[in-house]
């Protein structure tokens, strides 16, 4: 046997020795590929989310319970949809009140996905669901506030909004359920109501006027109360004075009657002195600085005045 034949035989023997290792390597690669494929197509359903399994774009199943699940390699895909409540800040928009005034309304909504299959079928995505929901909210708020005057909306004392948020929540949920969007509101709140900038000064002037009117009402009420108190006080003073005057007159009358009695008793003892006393009283009452009296010179009174006393 030639040297060339010996080398060829040795080479074939050497190749046969490596074949089992090559086959084992290929099997190992295949196993690793299978395991990797299986692992890559397992997914975890976490608490607070839906897992949507699609096949060629169509929803084939929805996993809701937390745990480990799977999908078919290459032809199925998995997306997540939140199960928990989400907050959507609605874009501020202008509305017209019943008295034809414009105002900006800013609100937010708390919502959740109730049926992901319906949501995907009719709204297609979370973003579209929020947009549809925002349109419904704006439509309902515009209809509700359009039935009120501007003052009834912004003035707490005159507010006629009542359970406004509850009515909006109920009506929007009815619209969402009617069209089978698979989502619902759990709360909706009006954060603030603003005026368009061009109307602010007019509203400020109106607010000042209202406050001044309220202040004037308080002043008027105070003046009326003060007048009432004064009138009551004056009436009580008049009643007290009248009572005191009546009592005084009664006392004076009793005193004068008693004095007259005493005078009569005293004067009865000396009638001539009484006549003189009464005459002097008459003179005192009738004669003043301008009185002229003409008396005969021989009258007793004239003689007394001139100092001729017998």
Phi-psi region for residue 148, left (φ > 0), alpha (ψ -120 to 50) or beta?
beta
Contact call for residues 53 and 78 (beta carbons, < 8 A): yes
pLDDT score, position 122 = 92
CA–CA distance, 310 with 306 (Å, rounded to integer)? 12
| Strands 86-89 and 183-194, bridge-based pairing | unpaired
**Side-chain-side CA neighbours of residue 222 (13 Å):** 6
Using the predicted structure, report yes or no on whether residue 215 has a pLDDT greater than 80. yes
Residues 194, 197, 200: CA angle, nearest 5 degrees: 70
Contact call for residues 84 and 134 (beta carbons, < 8 A): no
Q: Encode pLDDT of 129-184 as tens digits.
A: 999 999 999 999 888 888 887 777 766 555 555 577 888 999 999 999 999 999 99
| Closest C-alpha among 114, 112, 117, 113 to residue 52 | 117
Residue 290, both tokens: 């301008």
pLDDT score, position 14 = 52
Q: Encode pLDDT of 22-77 as tens digits.
A: 787 888 888 887 777 777 678 888 888 999 999 988 889 998 888 888 888 888 88
Q: What is the CATH number of domain 86-194?
A: 3.30.479.30
Using the predicted structure, report yes or no on whether residue 15 has a pLDDT greater than 60. no
pLDDT band for position 195 (50/70/90)?
low
CA–CA distance, 49 with 64 (Å, rounded to integer)? 7
pLDDT band for position 7 (50/70/90)?
very low
Percent of the chain whose pLDDT exceeds 90: 22
Using the predicted structure, report yes or no on whether residue 113 has a pLDDT greater than 90. yes
CA–CA distance, 59 with 52 (Å, rounded to integer)? 7
Show me where the domains of the chain are located. 3-82, 86-194
Question: Residue 162 has what DSSP assignment?
Answer: S
Most confident region among 54-68, 192-206, 280-294 by mean pLDDT: 54-68
């Amino acid at each position: 046997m030639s040297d060339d034949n010996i080398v060829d035989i040795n080479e074939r023997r050497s190749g046969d020795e490596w074949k089992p290792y090559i086959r084992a390597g290929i099997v190992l690669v295949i196993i690793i590929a299978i395991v990797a494929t299986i692992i890559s197509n397992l997914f975890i359903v976490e608490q607070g989310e839906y897992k949507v399994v699609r096949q060629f774009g169509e929803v084939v199943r929805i996993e809701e319970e937390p745990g480990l699940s799977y999908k078919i390699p290459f032809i199925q895909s998995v997306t997540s949809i939140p199960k928990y409540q989400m907050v959507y800040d609605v874009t501020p928009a202008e509305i017209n009140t019943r008295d034809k005034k414009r105002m900006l309304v800013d609100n937010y909504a708390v919502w959740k996905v109730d049926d992901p299959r319906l949501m995907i079928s009719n709204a297609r995505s979370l973003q579209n669901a929020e947009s549809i929901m925002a349109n419904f909210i704006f439509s309902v708020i515009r209809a509700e506030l359009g039935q009120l005057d501007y003052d009834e909306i912004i003035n707490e004392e005159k507010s006629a909004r009542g359970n406004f948020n509850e009515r909006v929540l109920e009506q929007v949920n009815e619209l969402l359920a009617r069209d089978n969007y698979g989502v619902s509101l759990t709360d909706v709140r009006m954060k603030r109501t603003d005026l368009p900038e061009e109307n602010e000064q007019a509203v400020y002037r109106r607010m000042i006027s209202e406050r001044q009117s309220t202040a004037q009402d308080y002043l008027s009420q105070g003046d009326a109360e003060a007048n009432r108190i004064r009138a009551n006080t004056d009436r009580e003073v008049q009643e007290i004075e009248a009572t005191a005057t009546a009592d005084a007159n009664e006392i004076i009358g009793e005193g004068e009657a008693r004095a007259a009695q005493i005078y009569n008793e005293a004067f009865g003892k000396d009638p001539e002195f009484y006549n003189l006393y009464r005459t002097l009283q008459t003179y005192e009452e009738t004669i003043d600085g301008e009185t002229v009296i003409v008396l005969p010179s021989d009258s007793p009174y004239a003689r007394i005045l001139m100092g001729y006393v017998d």
